[in-house]
């Protein structure tokens, strides 16, 4: 089978030898801020009624692109620390005053960031002039049509400059209807079956529209926790959001956002619980334990599902109160030979699928089969993740196949074993962490373009290698110390940019 993806990663460097562990793990890893929450916080701060001070900001390619895009639309960002994890944001006035380049055109580079290519165009419909959006070659393959179809229905100017429904695209205020006085919410439908980001993008812009917006998805919406995250982010900044009842049928659910610019103030961003997955899963593969501090007691992040998923895959999860009153989540395991298969509907937490798939592939060598469902929308992510996952599992000797809405991994026959290989990443950060986790369980694997993890987790190779270093070899190490509490932790792995 050949993966229908963006194609193999560009040979920017020699493949990275995926490290293995010399013994059970015993580590604490502090993660940078959530990519999803950072994106929402940046957008809302850029259009707020007053300045905002953000802490815990993820510094990565995606978030740097978001800051650049919002700067083009008139917001100002000031770093309050060297790493940029604390920022002061001065919002733009309405209509958003765009900044043209030397050629007189207003352009936004989306890179490969779904949040930039989907969250920012609705703001361009509230700007003083049209904006042209484009990005990496891979971004031109990602679906975009539904959110811009909804904008066009509301009177915005939308001109496709290439294949309809995909970047590049020209977006502007058009008839100006979105800023016209109104006493009632404007109503619009959106097909969000391809990505919950289509719905979230419109929700984020909705409070800026006089009268607000009433948004009705026409069918199934994957990753609903991300929509709940968007609604919660709006509410936390004083915006009134009416959500549909959980029992409302698909096609009959309406989110109504009332008008009113988000409040400014201080906003703290939670650690990225999705990115916690590969590190926590490493404890199941290598044995031992990995702890993530500052785990939120209540959160809208999809990564909170690790509490349920890792025990189903053969691990153990405990949550304990730390000395500072916060929570710390610890995953522990007995090694790859103890991994079990899983039958899981991941429709609400699709971003966790690559890590689950890596554990499922390793479990197949134990005679355990797995089935992951509800993730058809992953075909439209940074790459076609379903095809990529199946291709790479097959590359190491596993038996996997795509289904209509997911993948299946068959149990290997007795005596069969997985084999090392050079694993492709398809310029997809989650495929790179998937490959690294496979390499942890299959000595001798190499990972092409591991640097693509910079999209959401800068310095991942260092974090991963240090995680797997025996604690006895570095009894006094303090990596990424950022607070007095950190200095009490004997073994810490932290992204250097999170300092």
Contact between residue 171 and residue 128 where contact means Cβ atoms under 8 Å apart: no
Question: DSSP of 380-441, one letter per residue?
Answer: GSSS-HHHHHHHHHHHTT-EEEEETTEEEEEPPPTT------EEP-TT-HHHHHHHHHHHHH
The annotation status of 455 as a binding-site residue, yes or no, is: yes
For residue 231, how far is the Cα from the chain centroid? 17
The annotation status of 35 as a binding-site residue, yes or no, is: yes
For residue 397, how far is the Cα from the chain centroid? 29
What's the maximum distance between 2 C-alpha atoms anywhere in the chain?
Answer: 71
The annotation status of 351 as a binding-site residue, yes or no, is: yes
The annotation status of 197 as a binding-site residue, yes or no, is: yes
The annotation status of 142 as a binding-site residue, yes or no, is: yes
Element (H, E) at 285: helix 273-286
The number of CA neighbours under 13 Å toward the Cβ of 209 is 30
The annotation status of 394 as a binding-site residue, yes or no, is: no
The annotation status of 492 as a binding-site residue, yes or no, is: no
Q: Is 351 a catalytic residue?
A: yes
The annotation status of 36 as a binding-site residue, yes or no, is: yes
**Taking Cα atoms as reference points, which of 17, 23, 21, 20 lies closest to residue 445?**
17
The annotation status of 223 as a binding-site residue, yes or no, is: yes
Residue 87, strand partner residues: 54, 79
Q: Could you tell me how many residues make up the chain? A: 499
Catalytic residue among 270, 351, 392, 424: 351
CA-CA distance, 281 to 333, in Å (whole number)?
Answer: 9
The annotation status of 87 as a binding-site residue, yes or no, is: no
CA-CA distance, 439 to 445, in Å (whole number)?
Answer: 5
Spatial strand order of the sheet with 76-79 comes to 76-79, 86-90, 52-55, 265-268
Encoded tokens for 160: 């496709």
The annotation status of 446 as a binding-site residue, yes or no, is: no
| Residue 208 DSSP class | G
Encoded tokens for 359: 């554990």
Q: Which residue has the tokens 């740097």?
A: 64
**Taking Cα atoms as reference points, which of 207, 185, 213 lies closest to residue 44?**
207
Q: Which residues are annotated as a binding site for phosphoenolpyruvate?
A: 35, 114, 142, 197, 385, 430, 455
Q: Which residues are annotated as a binding site for 3-phosphoshikimate?
A: 35-36, 40, 195-197, 223, 351, 381
Catalytic residues: 351
Q: Which residues are annotated as a binding site?
A: 35-36, 40, 114, 142, 195-197, 223, 351, 381, 385, 430, 455
């Amino acid at each position: 089978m050949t993966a229908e993806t963006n194609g193999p990663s560009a040979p920017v460097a020699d493949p990275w030898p995926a490290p293995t562990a010399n013994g059970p793990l015993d580590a604490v890893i502090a993660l940078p801020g959530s990519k999803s929450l950072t994106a929402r916080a940046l957008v809302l701060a850029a259009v707020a009624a007053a300045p905002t001070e953000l802490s815990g900001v993820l510094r990565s390619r995606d978030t740097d692109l978001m800051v650049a895009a919002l700067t083009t639309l008139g917001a100002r960002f000031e770093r309050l620390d060297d790493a940029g994890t604390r920022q002061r944001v001065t919002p733009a006035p309405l209509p958003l005053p765009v900044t043209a380049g030397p050629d007189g055109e207003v352009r936004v580079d989306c890179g490969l960031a779904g949040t930039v290519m989907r969250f920012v165009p609705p703001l361009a419909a509230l700007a003083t002039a049209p904006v042209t959006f484009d990005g990496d070659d891979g971004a031109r393959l990602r679906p975009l049509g539904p959110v811009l179809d909804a904008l066009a229905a509301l009177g915005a100017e939308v001109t496709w400059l290439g294949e309809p429904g995909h970047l590049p695209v020209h977006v502007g205020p058009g008839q100006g209807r979105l800023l016209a006085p109104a006493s009632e919410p404007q109503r619009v439908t959106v097909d969000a079956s391809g990505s919950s980001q289509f719905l979230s993008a419109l929700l984020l812009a909705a409070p800026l529209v006089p009268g607000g917006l009433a948004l009705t998805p026409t069918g199934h919406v994957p990753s609903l926790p991300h929509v709940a995250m968007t609604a919660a982010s709006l509410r936390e900044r004083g915006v009134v959001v009416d959500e549909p009842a959980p029992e409302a049928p698909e096609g009959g659910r309406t989110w109504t956002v009332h008008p009113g610019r988000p409040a400014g103030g201080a906003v703290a961003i939670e650690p990225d619980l999705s990115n916690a997955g590969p590190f926590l899963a490493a404890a199941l593969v290598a044995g031992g334990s990995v702890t993530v501090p500052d785990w939120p007691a209540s959160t809208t992040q999809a990564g909170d599902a690790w509490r349920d998923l890792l025990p189903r895959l053969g691990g153990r999860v405990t949550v304990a109160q730390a000395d500072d009153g916060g929570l710390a989540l610890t995953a522990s395991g007995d090694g790859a030979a103890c991994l079990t298969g899983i039958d899981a509907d991941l429709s609400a937490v699709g971003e966790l699928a690559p890590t689950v798939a890596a554990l499922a592939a390793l479990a197949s060598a134990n005679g355990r089969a797995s089935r992951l469902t509800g993730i058809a929308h992953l075909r439209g992510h940074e790459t076609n993740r379903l095809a990529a996952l199946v291709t790479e599992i097959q590359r190491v000797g596993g038996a996997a196949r795509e289904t209509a809405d997911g993948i299946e991994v068959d149990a290997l026959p007795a005596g069969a074993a997985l084999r090392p290989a050079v694993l492709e990443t398809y310029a997809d950060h989650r495929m790179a962490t998937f490959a690294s986790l496979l390499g942890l369980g299959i000595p001798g694997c190499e990972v092409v373009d591991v640097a693509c993890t910079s999209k959401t987790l800068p310095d991942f190779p260092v974090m991963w290698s240090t995680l797997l270093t025996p604690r006895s070899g570095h009894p006094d190490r303090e990596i990424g110390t950022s607070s007095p509490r950190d200095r009490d932790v004997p073994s810490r792995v932290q992204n250097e940019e999170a300092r």
